[in-house]
Amino acid sequence: MSRNPDFVEALYKRLGRDPRAGGILGPDEIKRLRELVLGKDFEELDSFPGMTVSGLGRAVRLAAAAMDHPANESSPQAGAAGGAAIEEELGFPAVGDSPAPDTYLRPLGFGLEAGDRIDPVLAERYADSLRLSELLNRLSLNSPNGGARYRIAVEGGRLVETPNALLEAMTMTGHDLEVRDSRYFANFGDLIYHGRDVLTPFRIDTGLPVPGTDRTLLVPVSHSQHEFIVRGPVVNADLSFYFGIDGEAVFRPSVTRDQAWVMGKVAHRARCHCGT
C-alpha cells in the first residue's frame, strides 16, 4: 500500500459505496483507514480490527440497505402458495455441468481476487449435489402439521414429504449417508493475492479489558455447518446446511474448496449405512 498510491485510491473508491464492489465502510472507518495508510502504520494494518456487537449490527443494517434485496417471487415457497400440491420425480442421476473454475471469483484489480475456487473433486458430483439440495429445500417448506405442498416420488412410486423421509428412502435403496457437524474459522474476506490465499480472520470485540494490557478481549468468529455426504448406486452428492451471509438457512451444494487457514474440526459424526 505504501508503494502503490493508485491501489489506495481505488480502495477508497470501492469501500463505503457498494458491498458488491468489495465491501462497505462508514465514514468513521474510512477516516481511520486513511490515517493508518497515510501514517504508514502497517503493523496496525496487518491485524484485522475487532467489531463490537453493536458495530456489527450497524454494519449489517448498512449493507442490507445498500443491497436492497427484492423479494424472490420465483422461489419454490412462492410457487407453492396456492393450487394443487407439487409432485416431482427424484431425477437422479442428475444432469448438468459443474461450475467453471472462476465462477465464484471476482477480480478486484492489483492482483487481488475475491471469492472461492472450485474443488475439482467436488465438481464431479455437482449435478447430484445441486439436485439433492433443491429437493431437500423444497421438502423443508412443507408444514409439519400436514397438508404438504411438495412430494417427491421415490423407488416404488412412494411419495415422501419431509427431508428426513427422503434421506431414509435413499439409505433403504443402497445408499450410505454421513452427516458431519463441522466447525471452522469464519472467512468473510475470501481474498486471493496473486494466486495465494490471504488470511482474513474476523474477530468480535467483547469490550472486556484484558488484565495488564490496554486492550479488550477479541474472540474469533467461527462458522458451523452440517455436511451431508451421500454415496450409492445412483446418488453421489456432497452438500451443506448452514445459515449464510445471504440471510438463508438452506441446503447448499458443496463445490468450492476452503482456504487452508480456516482449518476445520468435526465435532460430531453420524453414519447411516444402506438398509439400516
pLDDT along the chain (276 residues), means of 10: 75 62 64 79 74 80 66 45 79 93 90 92 97 96 87 91 94 94 93 92 90 92 96 96 89 96 95 73
**Which strands form 105-109's sheet, in the order they lie side by side?**
105-109, 112-115, 191-193, 196-197
pLDDT at 133: 97
What span, in angstroms and rounded, lies between the C-alpha atoms of 31 and 29?
Answer: 5
Q: DSSP alpha helices (H): ranges in 124-263?
A: 126-139, 163-171
pLDDT given at position 67? 63
Give the pLDDT of residue 20.
Answer: 56
The reported pLDDT for the residue numbered 53 is 84
Q: Determine the pLDDT at residue 29.
A: 72
Contacts (Cβ under 8 Å, ≥6 apart) of 77: 141
Cis peptide before 93 (omega within 30 of 0): yes
**In sequence order, which residues have a C-beta less than 8 Å from that of residue 236 and are 6 or more positions away?**
93, 125, 128, 230
Nearest to 240 by CA among 259, 212, 219, 266: 266
In angstroms, the CA 258 to CA 189 distance is 12
**Cβ atoms of 220 and 203 closer than 8 Å:** yes
CB 225 within 8 A of CB 182: yes
**Domain ranges across the chain:** 1-68, 85-185+221-272
The one-letter amino acid code at 96 reads: G
Position 71 scores a pLDDT of: 44
The pLDDT of residue 2 is: 66
What pLDDT shows up at residue 124?
A: 96
**What's the pLDDT at 147?**
82
